[in-house]
Amino acid sequence: MRRRRTRYLDNGLGYNHGQEATVIEIEHDDDFDRLMDYIVDSDFYGKAYLPRQAGHVDDRITAHFWWVAEMVATLAPRVVLDVGCGRGDVLRILQEERGLDVAGIDFGSALLALLWPSLHGSFHAGEILEVLRAWNGPAYDVACGFDIWEHLRPRTLDETIAQLVAHSTDDALFLFVIPAFGDDTVFGEQFPLELEENRRAFDERVPFRVLLADGSDEQVPAAGHLTWAHTDWWVRRFTEQGLVREPAVEREIHRVVDPHIPHSIKSFYVFRRPTTAAKARVQSLATTRLPALTALAAIARRRRYERRVGARFTETAGQELDTWIKAHAGALTPVARGAAAAATRFAHRGVSASATADPRRS
């Protein structure tokens, strides 16, 4: 592999403004393993990683993880496994607010120190494939992975997916957030092609061989992502392991959460096992006929959750209501708009100064 300078595309999409960039060019498949070995040996995923990538600088929960937990809850889970759980914001919410059984897997030298205390008994530390091969936790009916698949060794991706499916229940559902490039049939184009050098791979639906370098260490691909690929390639990875995508479920979730999550989280997929039980489960899921009211109820629940357990978020409930009004006010009657505005004023007054938003919004 080699590092060199290049430029972004200059088409105005995403970050594409023709600016200079340092890239890592993959020359042999073994280069991915060399990159992973360096990432581990250099402690790239150490104490500075989560603050830099997820804004975890204190005991506030990253605001959009409330909505990610809502996405999971839409699937009516009983036991949730989060692969690549980080310090466990989503699992903590599901455990404390929903009363669910949860488990998490992740690797990184700083995780045990950063993990929420309530999750220590259900956390499995280690390389994800190795943990799944020797899985001794509960059978889970919802498995999640929020920005984890792109971090794993490319040669182990298929086996890791297969192991994740193997230890799930017969009616299991799967929710994955992945920074997938190109125009998806459900979530559109959240990640446009950035480098001309990757156009052929983009068009042929194979992983990219030219990776942007991370600003903190140019020997590492940006954010530690080893696999950069078109959305069609990612979907194929999971369907080749027998999973079935559920676009209708995805669209229902988008209708509720999209105003409250960053563009990177909108690049998500819902899959199910190819079983009669999983198909029936999907058909039984409640559909969201009124996304505005569903989102408003979620904000109200968040405020109750904050008061009950003393949780703090990087954005206040009042700020979430401001976002909600901007997204939905046009569809509301004048009476409903007035009621929402009154609720917003009340929420702003009810939030202490200690819970103000982190200026480094993710």
**Could you tell me where the DSSP H helices lie in 107-266?**
111-114, 128-133, 157-166, 199-204, 231-239, 247-257
Which tokens hold the place of 162?
Answer: 């297969």
Cα distance between residue 32 and residue 38, in whole Å: 10
Dist. CA 229–CA 179, nearest whole Å: 8
| Residue 233, number of CB atoms within 10 A of its CB | 20
Going residue by residue through the chain, which has 362 residues, state the pLDDT in tens, using 9 for 90 and above: 999 999 999 999 999 999 999 999 999 999 999 999 999 999 888 767 766 666 666 889 999 999 999 999 999 999 999 999 999 999 999 999 999 999 999 987 677 888 999 999 999 999 999 999 999 989 999 999 999 999 999 999 999 999 999 999 999 999 999 999 999 999 999 999 999 999 999 999 999 999 999 999 999 999 999 999 999 999 999 999 999 999 999 999 999 999 999 999 999 999 999 999 999 999 999 777 789 999 999 999 999 999 999 999 999 999 999 999 999 877 655 555 565 555 555 555 544 333 333 332 33
- In one-letter notation, the amino acid at residue 65 is F
Tell me yes or no: is domain 49-189+228-284 CATH 3.40.1390.10. no
Quote the pTM value: 0.91
